[in-house]
Structure 1
């Protein structure tokens, strides 16, 4: 009878030890999963930030190029207007004076 009780107690102790071992293994696996999840998240965020920086740089270059094109067009228009003014200033003044005098007569 004592032998039977000893076997039951031993079996119970062994079951408790197995349960503790399984719980410890479960905690370790959960920790590993959390660490791996964090690594994946960090890697994804790093890649995302690099993509944003790269796109930011490209967009900035495009904006600078567009700004230069606009400035060049503005300079060209200014040069043309200045040239037209220098060539036609006297004619325009004469035409304005002539029209003014014709309407007053």
Structure 2
């Protein structure tokens, strides 16, 4: 379930849907979407994940963990590529966790 959404005026609306799908993917699989994308390129079994409409195998989706438990996920899109999207998501998680310690 979506808890919060933030979109800059300069980012296309399609990125909102992409970010939500990245967060859903990271939460569902408990895995960063960048790693899933890499596995899909190199592992035939993981390649089939691309056939599920809900999942998006692009960097920028990161599970939010407390210890070993996944408690949520963040998805970022529109930061200028998958690596930048993931960096933004990781920074946001770092800030969230520092507030709640």
Identify whether the pair has TM-score above 0.5, normalized to the shorter chain: no
The structure with the greater share of residues assigned to strand is 2
Question: Which has more radius of gyration?
Answer: 1
The structure with the greater share of residues assigned to helix is 1
**Greater length-normalized contact order (CA 8 Å, ≥ 6 residues apart):** 2
